[in-house]
Amino acid sequence: MATVLERIKERIAERPGLTEAELAQAIFGMDGYQQRVNSTCRLMIAKGEIERHGSGGSSDPYTYHFPGVI
């Protein structure tokens, strides 16, 4: 079974620009677990594996991409 980190990478490869909520739903289904996705994304950002774009507000939510991809 793939880890949350591996599944996040898979989803971003399939559809760059997903929000945390969209990633959580794609990985965990309707229950979400957005906090688990959030903490994993933060770790991945710190390691330079992914980038976060947007301001984080409701009108411009954070979206996730691989480095160098807009």
| Token representation of residue 52 | 């976060």
pLDDT digits (tens, 9 = 90+) for 14-67: 999 999 999 999 999 887 688 899 999 999 999 999 999 999 998 999 999 999
The closest of 34, 36, 16, 14 to 25, measured between CA atoms, is: 34
Kindly report the backbone phi and psi dihedral angles of residue 18, in degrees, each rounded to the nearest multiple of 5, phi listed first.
-70, 150
| Token representation of residue 20 | 């945390």
pTM to 2 decimal places: 0.88
Give me the helix-helix angle, 20-28 and 34-46, nearest 10°.
120
4-65 has which CATH code?
1.10.10
Domain residue ranges of the chain, discontinuous segments joined by +:
4-65
